[in-house]
Amino acid sequence: MHIRDKYIDRQNYKDSDQISNEEQYKRANEFFSQFPKIDLQAEKVRCPKCNLLHKVYCLKCGELLVNKELIPKVELPVNLLILHHNKEKHQKSSAIPAKFLSDQVEVKDFPSEFEFDEYTYVLYPHQNAKYIKELSQEELQNIKKFVAIDCTWHQTGAILEKISNKYPQQKFIKLEDYQTYFWRYQHHSLKCLATIEAIYYCYQEYSKAMNINQNYNNLLFFYKYTFQQITDSVQQEVGNSNIYQKIEQKKQRILQSKQDAKKEKLFKKL
């Protein structure tokens, strides 16, 4: 059994029907079309800290590389800690860019030390997690910090193990059912949200429970921008009818590579 499976609420988690990358891309395109087009006038520039070329930001160094006036600010009712697994590349994170959108967002790389108190709630479908709507008004009002786990599905186990060992009575919250609009189909389930999507829905649900009238669409600002960049690339391939077939073939190669790696690992144990 994977260490992650000790903690997840299996009753609430069910695989959804698989869909093609083309269908998922169309779903994402429909979702993101509700947001205005973003123009950051971005070109690749060197990060002043690591001297590597990046576009928009360098997430490893935490440096914004475009005009700050082009970036919206989001006021959050509760502070946010993003606990990012250090084996996952910073540039792949959908959540870390949120630090440029709100001063209330903190990012820590696991396994660095972290401190929680009784007013900290971890966002994860833990077997002991409660829905936000199940919390009393007193519990809601006392929340001082949300913690979002930012890593691959398989890496969550190590983070959950450390949290549970350090804080046996840790409080967890989970979300209502949503489907991801990440532009490539995730082979686990459509219910596996990108971290920034989970954060977005978390604040939506919290504000609804607290009767706070606030719009959190700008939390998805960089998520939308990334999709916009991908869309521009796809449009350049309009004349290529095999574009989705290529995406699907790449996905299958990645899955096959992972399966081969697992078989090789098992073989070495014999």
> For residue range 66-81, what is the model confidence (pLDDT) as tens digits?
999 999 999 999 999 9
Task: Report d(CA 145, CA 234) in Å as an integer.
Answer: 39
Q: Which long-range contacts (CB under 8 A, 24 or more apart) does 225-231 make?
A: 225/38, 225/40, 225/56, 226/94, 227/28, 227/29, 227/32, 227/183, 228/32, 228/37, 228/38, 230/183, 231/29
Residue 1's pLDDT is 43
Residue 186's pLDDT is 61
Most confident of 78-92, 145-159, 196-210, 247-261: 196-210
Average the pLDDT over 180-189 and give the result. Answer: 73
Average the pLDDT over 98-113 and give the result. Answer: 94
Residue 2's pLDDT is 47
**Considering only CA atoms, which of 166, 191, 142, 150 is closest in space to residue 16?**
191
pLDDT category, 253, cuts 50, 70, 90?
confident
Residue 243's pLDDT is 57
Span of 11-20, 77-86, 121-130 with lowest mean pLDDT: 11-20
Question: What are the tens digits of pLDDT across the range 17-44?
Answer: 567 777 888 888 889 989 898 988 778 8
Question: What are the tens digits of pLDDT across the range 228-241?
Answer: 888 877 666 655 55
Whether residue 97 has a cis bond before it, omega within 30° of 0: no
- Res. 56: pLDDT tops 60: yes
Q: How many CA atoms, within 13 angstroms, populate the side-chain half-sphere of residue 247?
A: 18
Task: Report d(CA 97, CA 54) in Å as an integer.
Answer: 13
Please list, residue by residue across 194-203, b when 16 or more beta carbons sit within 10 angstroms of its beta carbon and e when fewer do. Answer: bbbbbbbbbb
Most confident of 39-43, 133-137, 180-184: 133-137
Could you tell me which residues come within 8 angstroms of residue 236 by beta carbon, excluding any fewer than 6 positions away? none
Average the pLDDT over 246-258 and give the result. Answer: 68
pLDDT more than 90, % of the chain: 54
Residue type present at position 11: Q
Residue type present at position 228: Q
Residue type present at position 15: D
Contact indicator for 95, 148 with CB cutoff of 8 Å: yes
Q: For 185, list phi and psi in degrees, rounded to 5.
A: -65, 130
Average pLDDT value over all residues in the chain: 85
Contact indicator for 199, 74 with CB cutoff of 8 Å: no
Residue 110's pLDDT is 92
